[in-house]
Structure 1
Amino acid sequence: MPVRVLCLHGSRQTREIFQNQLSLFQDDLAHIAELVFLEAPHVLPFITAQDDILTRSWCSTDGKEDYSAGDALVASAMQPGGPDTDLAFTIMFGFSQGALMIYRYLWLHARDTAVSSQLRGVIVAGAQDPRRMLPCGGGRTLSQLPPDRAAGSFAGPPVFGALPFLHLIGRKDTIVAPEESAAFAQVCSSTSRVLFHEHAHSIPALKEVRTAVREVCLAASMSSVKVAEALEARAEELEMVRSMYEEECVLTRGDETLVRIPLFTDAESLLASSSSSVTVSLDASTVHALERIKVCFHVPWSYPSTLPMVEITGGPTWHSVKYERWAAGMVVRTSAYLADELGVGTAMLLPAYLYTAGLAQEEVDILLDVFTKEACSGDRAHGCRDGGADGEAAVSQLAGPWATEDELLRQTYITEAEAKAVEVLLAEAKRNRDCRRPATDGGDDGRDAESEVVELEAPTAAGGGGGTCTLTIGLIGKPSAGKSTFFNAVTNPADESDAARVASFPFTTIEPNVGTALAPLYCPCATLRAAELAPADDDVTGVTAAACSAASCNAALSSGLTGTLCDAAYGHVCALGSDRFRRHPVKVKDVAGLVQGAYQGKGKGNQFLNDLCDADVLVHVVDGAAATEADGTACTPGQGSTMEDIAWVRSEVHSWIYDNLRAKWTSLVRQPTKLRTMFSGYRSTPAFVDRVLRRVGIANDIALTAILRTWGPQELHAFVALYIRLRFPLIVALNKADLPAAAGVAEALRQAYPHEVFVPMTARIEWLALQLSRKGYIDYTSGVASLSGTFGHGDAANLDKSVRQELYDVTSFFRTTTPSQEVLSSPLLRTTTGVQDVLAAAMEACGVMLVYPVRTFHPVTSLAHCLTFKLGSSAGRVFDALVHLKLLEGKLVRFEVIDLAPVKRLLLQQLMASLPSIPSNEASTPVPAQPKQRTVELPTLVKTLRKTEVISSSVVLARILSNKFQPA
């Protein structure tokens, strides 16, 4: 059971401020200690008009320095049953004035046997010398000493006997002089420990400070008898190991002890008794090689309560897949043996070693095969002659399954890896949905599995980056597919000279085009507005307000917005057939066109991929009318390479990352844990890589070290495919969807690639409409389903021929044609160009968190700001970002959130499902999907987070209180 720690804040703080101050400490002590925060009794007045939260003090505010109310509050918390009863807390932790209250409690209850016998530790930070402020009573007379004695050195027994104390003192403290704190620490307790830090009047979350606090809690969690017994048993076992083997086999490093014992203590005798024919030709070097193999136990200080980690060391100097697989199996079996047997609480190091040595002797033929056949091979000899890293690299490049991977086999591996990655993510998404809530109506085609898995992932630590992130959409595809046209359509440059170059020949784009677009993003005003509309429209998801009980929530969520839309900073836009989206700035990168074999240097090589390392989502712009070949040259619509483009573009991205890893494989085999840091160039943290590794069965560094060395090309391909699916979600934009051939191509694509997300669009019509609108010929806003002309029939006749053609193409598409012109129909697109639909789908696929800061939940009066963060960001990161943006000031007091992810998920799933599907008869009229009406409750549960706590949602309304006035 965790020890309980009573935490007392300082003056002009609150319980919540102190709780956020110790947030990292709470994370460290999650399974060791329970921190409980007490609120001081006296409310302090504001110092300035900018203060926004009332703070508190343990001392009265009438100038009389009366601590009696605080003393009573601390005493009742520590001993709810009264004096001489059991303590409710084992440790006390106080900062500044809170530390003084601990001193006072100990002083007043010095004769209380429960306090002296049950209190196991005290932690004080920024503590003043209390000797002038200790009350009379408790049978002690320290407070009555003459001033010179009380303030100076204290001759006599320690004030608080042998009670364990940890004193945290800041060298730069200007409120309580560090000399004053240190002076009392010397006479406080015979077991006082003083830890200085280089900060001011605070409790910095430094590693050494957190470790010291953790040690106090760990010591308190064990009785002195149990600690002594465990240490004695541990010492006896290690001494027995030393006596049976060499003294050097036990090495102590800090709190951990390393036990290393050879698996073959007498390899020569073992081989002499072997019946294997291989042993006849063994030389001394092979015998010595066997004797170098050791089993290592990393024994923690808490052994035998905690399992030691197992490692096999001393293998061959060259890379041997057979040996690594054998060693990995030994680690797994020995660890399982320890897990099965250690539960009885007995000493298990020697039994575990004997078990492992027995296994090794039974399988010695595997090792003989490694040290004879492989050692004598030409590859091995070549490596030894060359020596060094280069020789090993040559061996690694040629030996084992890596040598057999040709281009055909590579494509086979990639296809298998892609299928496996999709299978894993679909299964995980299904498990998440089943665990989240009962299944809702509607089909499950798995097309959003990747984004759903990323969204629902619960990161183990706040590692999402420092502050807000700017989303980046990367455009990929073969030459002449329409990437640059799409780029122009979404960035909409005011001057045509700033537009990306567009032409009907390959490699129009050489250097990447980078611009800013306003993309559709989910807006909570849609949720709040839908809750007020009853009944819900037939074609929208119904949202109802949930009943809010005192036990389940702190406040109801309601709308105080004026008008039909909120005050979003960049306004709103229509996408996916709904006006429920707000505009949000994103970066768009249009890179050089891709050709098959780019990873081998063909075309522009990997240049385009290196330009996309920072992309959050990829939009693969495809020639949806199949009017171009793989190299971008024009052909008859419907006869192009579109069907193959989907697969080979993914394959090129895959090979780009795969080859980057393969080039460093020799180094990775030597140090497998380096794999976690190999993806920083792709903007992936080690924590992200860990989440990918867990999906291929690698849960920690020990497993990574043991398993990665056994990998061949198939395993690496499987890992890369899963990584790409999670790191670079991909949306397929079916461009040229306004052409007649596009309907058949789209249906064939959906049949061939059922798990891809296809969104039809016509980038050319969108870009032309925006240009014509800017010139004043039409009135058009992106995302709308219609436009109006600002010219008459006579005016149009006077226009330049090219402009007339552009007007005809645009107005024909929107079914508002000029007289005598025939109306054309678009078989895929409903009534918009689909460009905003592509952007909306791309934004939904991004693995980011949306934070909407509000002043109140009931009612919500403004939704002006939307901030984007990496998934797994903490409350503290969001608060710091708001302070940086000058939307908040001061220190964090309270961080409250309402999770909107279920509402947003349901809305987006329905809107994505409403994209036109192509019926089997390929009729020209689009048939939108008609999902059943679904209703979701308006969320009302308010969750309060600590500063370091991860926000485990992809969309939240956040009410953030500081101790200063909130300017926005």
Structure 2
Amino acid sequence: MPVRVLCLHGAQQTRNIFQNQLSRFQDDLTHIAELVFLEAPHVLPLITAQDDMPTRSWCSADGKEDYSAGDALVATTMQPAGPGTDLAFTVMLGFSQGALMIYRYLWLHATDAAVAAQLRGVIVAGVQDPRRMLPGNERSELFHTTSHSAASSAGETAVFGSMPFLHVIGKKDTIVAPEESAAFARVCSSASRVLFHEHAHSIPALKEVRLAVREVCQAASMSATKMAEVLEARAEELEMVSSMYGEDCILARGNETLVRMPLFTDAESILASSSASAVASLEAPAMHALERIKVCFRVPWSYPSTLPMVEMADGPTWHSVKYERWAAGVVARTSAYLSDELAVGTAMLLPAYLYAAGLAQEELDVLIDAFTEEAGGGGGAHGGHDSGAAVSKATGPWAAEDEHLREMYIAEADAKAAELLLAASKLSCDGGRPSANGGEDEDGEMCSMTAESETPAAAGSGGGSCTLIIGLIGKPSAGKSTFFNAVTNPTSESDAARVAAFPFTTIEPNIGAGLAPLYCPCATLRAAAGSAATPSAVLSSGLMDDLCDATYGHMCALGSCRFRRHPVKVKDVAGLVQGAYHGKGRGNQFLNDLCDADVLVHVVDGAAATEADGTACAPGQGSAMEDIAWVRSEVHSWIYDNLRAKWVSLVRQPRKLRVMFSGYGSIPTFVDRVLRRVGIANEVALTAILPTWGPRELHAFVALYIRLRFPMVVALNKADLPTAADLATALRHAYPHEVFVPMTARTEWLALQLSRRGYVDYTPGAASLGVRVEYGEVAPLGKNVRQELHDVVSFFRSTAASQEPLPSSSLLRTTGVQDVLAAAMAACEVVLVYPVRAFHPVTSLAHCLTFKLGSSAECVFDSLVHLKLLEGKLVRFEMIDLAPVQQQQLQELLASLPTISSNGSAVLMVARQQQRSATLPTSVRTLRKTEVINSSVVVARILSNKRQLA
């Protein structure tokens, strides 16, 4: 049963502010402790007129320093049934004035036997010497019990006897002098532990602080008898280690003991039995240095109820990257062995030491290389090479893989990846939970394949705000640069991407900013307004107009005007040619330029008027049918070959696979999601399965990774030409899992240029335009301008003439550029946050912030403070999940395109599908500061103690 901890905030804080400050502590203490936050009784006046949330204090605000109301509140909370009765909490935690209240409570209840017997730990931070603040402080010896003798006794009489205390003190505290806090800590208790940190007046969420708090809570969960048994077991184990490895291996350091044991007790014999060729080159100094290496355990006073920390010591005196990597691996795996395999409360030091020694011997060849490189003049930092960097002589199925097999494997893997995502989408929509292998695990229970609730941050990774990046990919002369200009709409020719009818017009990547259509929650709000009478409604609309006040306005896309303009970055890279992964054309440079892209738009010559190398040909005779497969194959081969080059190293250490994708913008937990989809649920499974993989399995993994990391929309450019409609039909049948969106980038770009010159009135995404020049005014214009004006006006007249139902020969009602962008934005794996001042009613949706997957409430709050939309400290974060209903609406709009299949739209958006239901939201969720936003679209109400949302 978790230990209950009463938490008291400081002055000019609130319960919610303090709870958010300790959010990471709560994450660490899950299943160990329950933190309960108490609100101080006195409301303080607002510091400025702009402040919306008043803060509180434990003493009166009239300057009389009256703590009586605070004392009474703490006492009734600790002992609801009155003095002398059982305590509701076994640990107390206080910051600043809240810590002072703990001192006062202990002082006022010094003679209460229940407090002495049941209070098992106290944590205080940033607190002054309380003795002058204690009423009737003539008493000096309190709580003289023997049940808490975890730490060594103080040399003088302690104010609070042997009560276990943790004092957290900031070295840079300017509000309470650290010297004052430390001075009282020395006389506070004979079981006081002092922990200094490098910050100011705070309880920082540093690892060492969180670990110390965890130790207090774990020790508090044990009875006095159990504590005595634990301390006795600790002493016995340390004595055994001392007898085996000498007294010098144990060093007492205050509240912890440092245990240092040699990793190689008989290095000479171990080396003699080694098959490593470098053993013979080891000289005497290197041999001696090898024998000096020690594995160290930092043993806390509460061991074995808490885990020791593992370190390596006495390594080589020179800098060696190989040794540092080797040591880090031993430390990480030994730490994992301690936490996963050994039971807390048992003797752990010797088993962990033997495990570390075994690891060291398993990888002795790596260690020998590290020591011989110094003798060979390698210098450690730059000498030698990564033995796993190059592929050793291929054997088995790897040796059999030729170009023909590679093509077959890639096609097979991509089809399987698309089918897997489609199956996951259907199971999600049907309310099922797809398993890693599409069925049940060995125990007959469903194991999560998608595990969408486990976002990257759930495993401790970051998140943060981001700008969406759309990468343009395709063969030369397909229209990428024209599309780039149509999206970024440069104001001068010098800013525009160069466009010409020959290959490789673009050499260096063009990077520009544009506005792309993002489906707006206006529509959801209007639907919510229609159901506002229902008791379950959590949203209501207070918008003045049918459309909201989006900062950049709205536009039409996919046949709907419910899209808002959102800033994006667009990257147009050099054209791709077949065999780029072999170095043809610009090689893989184009792909390296797209590593940070959130989504790829593959611009295809939708009229089939160019060959694979970009040279012109008769419309309908080009390579469009083949372009879809080989472009995706080039992206696949780029990543596959990078992994294949490291395969020897990966087989030896499979866990390295999780960090191999950082160059593509993927954190380890994202790779974990991909692994779960191919049946690898944890590191044990990864270690067992990865060495059995051959080319087919690796191709399958890469194909799935690409589908998830680089979702792709295929833009069928030149869709206004006569050959486009038949080609689109053929493509749709040949590639049912691809998302095809027709467009004419040239028409959009010309319309924008003519609009800027004042010849036409045109808004991106519109189905029509107005001509501002009379017939007689056209003649004086240049020949090129007259032709451009004729082409644009003719196009929009032809689209306006088309009536419902859409003729089979026509693919476009607009230029389609905004449709392509809308599909691309729908595929991006990001979190969209719409901050609002209130849910009832929502009066403004001006701001839309984009965040990486795994972002927390704290990330959103920090961004709002950075944008000067909020001030102060986070008090409360509330959110409403709009993703299910918006995703359904988006899929319906995508499915209305004549070139896209239902399978294609489902595969495109599978990563964003989270729930079976697409009903309107009916609940508000409150998040702590460190909790992850497990949705792709939310409306958020964020409260601070200062100015609220502007």
TM range (shorter): 0.7 to 0.9
1:525 is aligned to 2:507: no
TM-score (norm: length of structure 1): 0.77
How far did 1:673 drift? 3.9
Match of 2:895 in 1: 913
**Structure 2 counterpart of 1:24, one-letter code:** R
Match of 2:204 in 1: 204
Match of 1:869 in 2: 851
Would the alpha carbon gap of residues 246 and 753 (structure 1) be closer, same or farther in structure 2, given more than 3 Å must change?
farther
How far did 1:421 drift? 2.5
Query: More deviation in 63-72 or 512-521?
Result: 63-72
Whole-angstrom CA distance in 1 between matches of 2:822 and 2:303: 54
Match of 1:35 in 2: 35
1:304 and 1:346 in contact (8 A); partners too? yes
How far did 1:716 drift? 3.0
1:893 and 1:961 in contact (8 A); partners too? yes
2:305 and 2:345 in contact (8 A); partners too? yes
**Structure 1 counterpart of 2:67, one-letter code:** Y
2:831 and 2:853 in contact (8 A); partners too? yes
Q: Which of 476, 479, 495 lines up with 1:479 in the alignment?
A: 476
1:963 is aligned to 2:945: yes
Would the alpha carbon gap of residues 344 and 100 (structure 1) be closer, same or farther in structure 2, given more than 3 Å must change?
closer
How far did 1:620 drift? 0.5
Would the alpha carbon gap of residues 662 and 224 (structure 1) be closer, same or farther in structure 2, given more than 3 Å must change?
farther
State the secondary structure of the residue aligned to 2:34.
strand
1:459 is aligned to 2:447: no
Whole-angstrom CA distance in 2 between matches of 1:477 and 1:246: 66
Q: Please list, as runs of the form range in 1=range in 2, the aligned pairs for 1:59-208 lying within 5 A after superposition.
A: 59-136=59-136, 140=139, 157-208=157-208
2:837 and 2:949 in contact (8 A); partners too? no
Q: Which of 829, 841, 849 lines up with 2:811 in the alignment?
A: 829
How far did 1:815 drift? 2.4
**Structure 2 counterpart of 1:468, one-letter code:** S
Would the alpha carbon gap of residues 392 and 848 (structure 1) be closer, same or farther in structure 2, given more than 3 Å must change?
closer
Would the alpha carbon gap of residues 812 and 32 (structure 1) be closer, same or farther in structure 2, given more than 3 Å must change?
same
Query: More deviation in 903-912 or 397-406?
Result: 397-406
Whole-angstrom CA distance in 1 between matches of 2:622 and 2:887: 36
Whole-angstrom CA distance in 2 between matches of 1:299 and 1:405: 50
State the secondary structure of the residue aligned to 2:135.
coil
Whole-angstrom CA distance in 2 between matches of 1:214 and 1:965: 35
State the secondary structure of the residue aligned to 1:815.
helix
**Structure 2 counterpart of 1:870, one-letter code:** K
How far did 1:593 drift? 0.7
Match of 2:539 in 1: 557
Q: Which of 576, 585, 589 lines up with 2:558 in the alignment?
A: 576
1:462 and 1:949 in contact (8 A); partners too? no
Q: Which of 739, 754, 762 lines up with 2:744 in the alignment?
A: 762
Q: Please list, as runs of the form range in 1=range in 2, the aligned pairs for 1:322-333 lying within 5 A after superposition.
A: none
2:598 and 2:829 in contact (8 A); partners too? yes
Match of 2:699 in 1: 717
Whole-angstrom CA distance in 2 between matches of 1:182 and 1:854: 45
Match of 1:489 in 2: 486
1:221 is aligned to 2:221: yes
Whole-angstrom CA distance in 2 between matches of 1:716 and 1:230: 49
State the secondary structure of the residue aligned to 1:411.
helix
Match of 2:502 in 1: 505
1:759 and 1:837 in contact (8 A); partners too? yes
Would the alpha carbon gap of residues 678 and 300 (structure 1) be closer, same or farther in structure 2, given more than 3 Å must change?
farther
Whole-angstrom CA distance in 2 between matches of 1:436 and 1:645: 36
Would the alpha carbon gap of residues 649 and 804 (structure 1) be closer, same or farther in structure 2, given more than 3 Å must change?
same
**Structure 2 counterpart of 1:885, one-letter code:** L
1:506 and 1:632 in contact (8 A); partners too? yes
How far did 1:392 drift? 4.9
Match of 2:290 in 1: none
State the secondary structure of the residue aligned to 2:180.
helix
**Structure 1 counterpart of 2:455, one-letter code:** A
State the secondary structure of the residue aligned to 1:814.
helix
Deviations 1:15-42 (A, max 9, x none): 0111111111111112211111000011
Would the alpha carbon gap of residues 193 and 435 (structure 1) be closer, same or farther in structure 2, given more than 3 Å must change?
farther
Percent pairwise identity: 75
Query: More deviation in 22-31 or 459-468?
Result: 459-468
Q: Please list, as runs of the form range in 1=range in 2, the aligned pairs for 1:814-893 lying within 5 A after superposition.
A: 814-815=796-797, 827-893=809-875
2:608 and 2:723 in contact (8 A); partners too? yes
Instruction: Give unpaired runs (5+ residues) of structure 2.
Output: 143-153, 279-294, 310-332, 355-361, 366-382, 435-448, 902-915
Q: Please list, as runs of the form range in 1=range in 2, the aligned pairs for 1:907-946 lying within 5 A after superposition.
A: 907-917=889-899, 937-946=919-928
Whole-angstrom CA distance in 1 between matches of 2:750 and 2:129: 77
Whole-angstrom CA distance in 1 between matches of 2:823 and 2:628: 17
Would the alpha carbon gap of residues 840 and 403 (structure 1) be closer, same or farther in structure 2, given more than 3 Å must change?
same
2:499 and 2:505 in contact (8 A); partners too? yes
Match of 1:375 in 2: none
1:411 is aligned to 2:407: yes
Deviations 1:580-612 (A, max 9, x none): 111011111111111110011111211211111
Deviations 1:83-121 (A, max 9, x none): 222211111000011011111111122222221111110
State the secondary structure of the residue aligned to 1:116.
helix
Match of 2:511 in 1: 514
2:472 and 2:573 in contact (8 A); partners too? yes
Would the alpha carbon gap of residues 192 and 959 (structure 1) be closer, same or farther in structure 2, given more than 3 Å must change?
same
How far did 1:913 drift? 1.3
Would the alpha carbon gap of residues 430 and 93 (structure 1) be closer, same or farther in structure 2, given more than 3 Å must change?
farther
1:49 is aligned to 2:43: no
Deviations 1:802-846 (A, max 9, x none): 434333332232226999xxxx97834341111101000101111
Whole-angstrom CA distance in 2 between matches of 1:747 and 1:178: 75
**Structure 2 counterpart of 1:415, one-letter code:** A
Would the alpha carbon gap of residues 109 and 705 (structure 1) be closer, same or farther in structure 2, given more than 3 Å must change?
same
Instruction: Give unpaired runs (5+ residues) of structure 1.
Output: 144-153, 268-282, 290-295, 310-330, 355-366, 372-387, 439-451, 534-543, 550-554, 920-933
Would the alpha carbon gap of residues 436 and 956 (structure 1) be closer, same or farther in structure 2, given more than 3 Å must change?
farther
1:644 is aligned to 2:626: yes
How far did 1:748 drift? 1.9
Q: Please list, as runs of the form range in 1=range in 2, the aligned pairs for 1:729-740 lying within 5 A after superposition.
A: 729-740=711-722
Deviations 1:549-584 (A, max 9, x none): 6xxxxx942222212222111110000110111101
Whole-angstrom CA distance in 1 between matches of 2:917 and 2:385: 64
Deviations 1:356-399 (A, max 9, x none): xxxxxxxxxxx9xxx9xxxxxxxxxxxxxxxx966955984204
1:19 is aligned to 2:15: no
State the secondary structure of the residue aligned to 1:838.
helix
2:640 and 2:699 in contact (8 A); partners too? yes
Match of 1:319 in 2: none
**Structure 1 counterpart of 2:487, one-letter code:** V
TM-score (norm: length of structure 2): 0.79
How far did 1:193 drift? 0.3
How far did 1:486 drift? 0.9
State the secondary structure of the residue aligned to 1:461.
helix
Q: Which of 666, 670, 680 lines up with 2:662 in the alignment?
A: 680
Whole-angstrom CA distance in 2 between matches of 1:725 and 1:467: 23
Would the alpha carbon gap of residues 242 and 546 (structure 1) be closer, same or farther in structure 2, given more than 3 Å must change?
farther
Would the alpha carbon gap of residues 567 and 208 (structure 1) be closer, same or farther in structure 2, given more than 3 Å must change?
same
